[in-house]
Structure 1
Amino acid sequence: MVRYSKGAFREVLRDYNVDIAYTPMILADVFKSSEFARTDYTTNDIDSPVVVQFAAHDPVDLAQAAQLVAPYCDGIDLNCGCPQKWAYKERIGAYLSDKPETVREMVRAVKAVVSTPCSVKIRRHPTDDRQTIELVKRAEMMGVDWITIHGRTRHQKSTEPVDFNIIKMVKESVGVPVLANGGIFSVEDADEMYEKTGVDGVMSARGLLQNPALFAGYEHTPLEAVQKYRQLRAGIRHTDIHLPPPHHVS
């Protein structure tokens, strides 16, 4: 999510059965061009596995950003699901829902320059489920390592039901692991998603912001999670790793 899931929050999540944590969505063109922008991402030996989530519409921008961050993460994700209007205007996020060839080229560009696993996160196409399937198949052809599907279109409100059928269709259409996103606020929600779709994993965003301990079975955020987050936010850990300056891009 934009601006959320930074280092301190990711560290808290790892105490509560979160297996893989993602960074906030980062603009690839800004990240690869600005040393100042890269200071927003820090990591450390505790922060693993961590997936850096990029928004991009240009293969070169994404590949150069991937080269910079690859030594400092466990995965690189292309966000094709952000529904915000500003993102759509910038031709990133959910704008790519019906641009399978563009997604294909960006995945290919990343796989050509780094060995770090690469994924894509998508939403259901607004009008045609065949476009959703076409997008994931093209990404798979280029060697994408896993796919995350949010079961709503960019036009749907977060209060509307998630479509389990499109998630199941995506899972049955590709051979790579598929994660499901949307409407996960409890362990029971996760269990229902597994049962109805057969996916390999479940992702939560708003649910974890509301309760970072949900995957550990807590109904409400435990006090110790709040206390740890405040302590971590009070200062940067001495073990934090910062990324290199621009001249390291090839």
Structure 2
Amino acid sequence: MLVRAYSADVAFTPMIYAKHFVASEKCREAEFITSIGLSFIALSTFVRLKQFYVLLFYAGDQPTIVQFATNDPEEFAEAAMFVSRNCEGVDLNCGCPQRDVMKEGYGSSLLTEPARIADIVATTRRRISRADFTVSFDGITFLSFQQLTLETCRRAESAGVSFITVHGRTPEQRSEPADFDMIKLIKSSLSIPVIANGGVKSYKQALEIAKYTGADGIILL
């Protein structure tokens, strides 16, 4: 809700493990909590209605994209089905560099598997065909493997991904300057929207990055 106050165009939920979200009703309920003392329902509260969950929003708290971590196409598609009625899209996390996440084959470890990412996107598209529902992924770049990075993005585009968020750092980098040249290259290689991320500290800098890379938007984490 805070970012909405500063005119953010879209907000993402925190990363959710699709495996647990799909398998456990308790997990689905635990991931989203209502603030009892407030007069409105907080962002990302799920209410079960028959066989699906409805995502309830504070007034004006849209568009919202729900981000899941998984490496299983059916798992991601099923999680997307749960939330598809009341959010604008789902996002596959391909950028988290944390060891426990990568150990499961999630997050940035997925970027070495272009075919799997494409399969996840295509499977979800087959399950949810609505043109206004986005399926996206966010990822960091492998600067030493430029062609692999480009292949991953191109295959996802062919599979029907709506847009891609690119963080201009490798999994090993944390505070090093982001490589906006790589983001620029990815943008010029695709026909879908590309969102730039990495080291953005001011509105002025965001505008400069967007102009330099040709990115369609800037995301702040």
Question: Distance in 1 between the 2:158 and 2:143 partners?
Answer: 23
1:142 to 148, 159, 162: 159
2:113 to 99, 114, 120: 99
Aligned CA-pair RMSD: 1.0
SS of equivalent residue, structure 2 residue 195: strand
Question: Distance in 1 between the 2:212 and 2:143 partners?
Answer: 21
More RCO (CA 8 Å, sep 6+): 1
Q: Is 1:73 equivalent to 2:56 in the alignment?
A: no
TM-score, normalising length from structure 1?
Answer: 0.76
Report 1:171-190 matches (<5 A): 171-190=187-206
Contact 1:126 1:155 in 2 (8 A): no
| Count of equivalent residues | 194
Q: Please state how far the C-alpha of 1:12 moved relative to its aligned partner.
A: 1.7
Q: Please state how far the C-alpha of 1:195 moved relative to its aligned partner.
A: 2.1
Partner of 1:218: none
1:119-145 per-residue CA deviation (whole Å, 9 max, x = no partner) reads 110110252011110001000001111
- Hey, which bits of structure 1, 4+ residues long, moved more than 4 A? none
Question: Distance in 2 between the 1:176 and 1:49 partners?
Answer: 19
Q: Which amino acid aligns with 2:12?
A: Y
1:64 to 72, 75, 78: 78
Question: Higher strand proportion, which one?
Answer: 2
Question: Distance in 2 between the 1:127 and 1:71 partners?
Answer: 40
Contact 1:183 1:189 in 2 (8 A): no
Partner of 1:196: 212
Q: Please state how far the C-alpha of 1:117 moved relative to its aligned partner.
A: 1.1
1:43-71 per-residue CA deviation (whole Å, 9 max, x = no partner) reads 31422100000111011111111111111
Q: Which amino acid aligns with 1:110?
A: T
2:146 to 119, 122, 129: 129
Q: Please state how far the C-alpha of 1:97 moved relative to its aligned partner.
A: 1.3
Q: Is 1:118 equivalent to 2:132 in the alignment?
A: no
Question: Distance in 2 between the 1:16 and 1:117 partners?
Answer: 23
1:152-192 per-residue CA deviation (whole Å, 9 max, x = no partner) reads 010112x2000011100110111011100111121022022
Question: Higher helix proportion, which one?
Answer: 1
Q: Which amino acid aligns with 2:180?
A: F
2:182 to 161, 166, 172: 166
- Listed as ranges, the gaps of 5+ residues in structure 2 are 33-44, 46-55
TM-score, normalising length from structure 2?
Answer: 0.85
Partner of 2:36: none
Question: Distance in 2 between the 1:55 and 1:126 partners?
Answer: 23
Partner of 1:30: 20
1:88-144 per-residue CA deviation (whole Å, 9 max, x = no partner) reads 101000001111001010001110111221111011025201111000100000111
SS of equivalent residue, structure 1 residue 68: helix
Partner of 1:13: 3
